[in-house]
Amino acid sequence: MLGNFSYKNATKLYFGDDSLKYLNGELPKYGKNIQLIYGGGSIKKNGLYDEIIKILKDNGKNIIEDGGVMPNPTVEKLYEGVKLARENKTDLLLAVGGGSCCDYAKAVSVSVNCDEDPWDKYYLRFEEPDCDIVPVGCILTMAGTGSEMNAGSVITNHSQKLKIGHVFGEEVMPKFSILNPKYTFSLPKKQMVAGIYDIFNHICEQYFSGEDDNTSDYIAEGLMKSVIHSSLIAIEDPEDYEARSNIMWTATWALNTLIAKGKTTDWMVHMLGQSAGAYTDATHGMTLAAVSLPYYRYIMPFGLEKFKRFAEEVWNICSEGKTDEQVANEGLLAMENWMKKIGVIMSLSELGATEDMIDGIAEGTFILEGGYKVLTKDEVKEIIKQSM
């Protein structure tokens, strides 16, 4: 039975190779002070920074520079951004970059007017904001996280060895997002591939939960097949506009909350990967890739019917004359072969994890209850060992 739910997505999207022009229509809706958030400076090299600065100045805005957002935004960087926003009375947080910049902007948005420590309130106690929220807009340069159309925000605390995501309420979703697939062309191949796997796993996290034959599953299967098809084109020709636009659009639909409706959802791959990321500071999509197969092979017996369907519908595995377990295993093998073909990292040791980190990674892994099997800490540790 399809579960009961409510659904709303408040983010307005502008998609296509001329989408930046729509920033002119959004800016008059906000005050004068715009906090421009970006990462390591690649937008200055490719000219996007200058284009955005010109639009902001043409619209009479004061620009508050907030660069240097790292791939895994830290709690220290969050505090810096909050201080900057408070001092300059920021009216709009404009994130230009990938999911890290968008996540960071949302964390700042709920923290500027918060009278408590945002790390404690939002990332340890998982409370909702009870203060005014500074609006966020996104200009996306990397496809993967779906952060441009959801209320999720992941922050890393290195001193506590924790990397934690909080999915806030719909009021924290970006007010608008601008998606131009051409902005993703300049990404290094490793980042493109990490983003592709992040997309695929977002879909898996929602698909591998619940026993229901519902609409969400059919949508998820179509999205997975789209990612697989386009990824194989993009790794051969990273500037194939059709492939990169489909990847970018699928990334948005993979995590804009639609396909989660009627599902319990799992998210244990993310819990495992994020804990490993707190120790290694590795790229998010690669930590997911490193732990995925050991996790799915472990839980497969508990959700055998869905894993069989995954093999048949997504990977076109023929089931004739085979047991359900054989079909399911062939599906995961097909997934493994695809992962190797696109070039994702397949083990945590390749990301810098060492044997002496296993206990800490296991301890830092939040155990969720939405999947086919609620893990024990010992089972978490075993999966991490298998991921090494």
Question: Of 320, 318, 311, which Cα lies nearest the Cα of 338?
Answer: 311
Which residues, in sequence order, are bridge partners of residue 97?
A: 140
Length of the chain (residues): 388
Residue 32: other Cβ atoms inside 10 A: 13
Q: Name all domains of the chain by residue range, CATH numbers in brackets.
A: 12-183 (3.40.50.1970), 189-387 (1.20.1090.10)
State the first-to-last Cα distance of the chain, in angstroms, to the nearest integer.
38
> What is the Cα–Cα distance from 212 to 193, expressed in whole angstroms?
31
Q: What is the reported pLDDT for 82?
A: 97
Q: What is the reported pLDDT for 59?
A: 97
**Is residue 213 scored above 80 in pLDDT?**
no
Q: What is the reported pLDDT for 4?
A: 79
Query: pLDDT (tens digit, 9 = 90+) per residue, 313-337?
Result: 999 999 999 999 999 999 999 999 9
Angle at 221 between CA 311 and CA 100, to 5 degrees: 115
Q: Which of 40-44, 95-99, 166-170 has the lowest mean pLDDT?
A: 40-44
Q: What is the reported pLDDT for 7?
A: 83
**Is residue 111 scored above 60 in pLDDT?**
yes
**Is residue 1 scored above 70 in pLDDT?**
no
Query: pLDDT (tens digit, 9 = 90+) per residue, 263-305?
Result: 899 999 999 999 999 999 999 999 999 999 999 999 999 999 9
**Is residue 45 scored above 90 in pLDDT?**
no
Beta strands in the chain (DSSP E): 12-15, 33-37, 62-66, 92-97, 136-140, 152-157, 162-167, 176-179
For residue 111, give every residue at least 6 positions away whose Cβ sits within 8 Å of its Cβ, in sequence order, or none.
78, 81, 82, 118, 122
Q: pLDDT band at residue 214, thresholds of 50, 70 and 90?
A: confident
Q: What is the reported pLDDT for 372?
A: 96
DSSP string, 338-387: HHHHHT----GGGGT--GGGHHHHHHTPPP-SSSSS---HHHHHHHHHHH
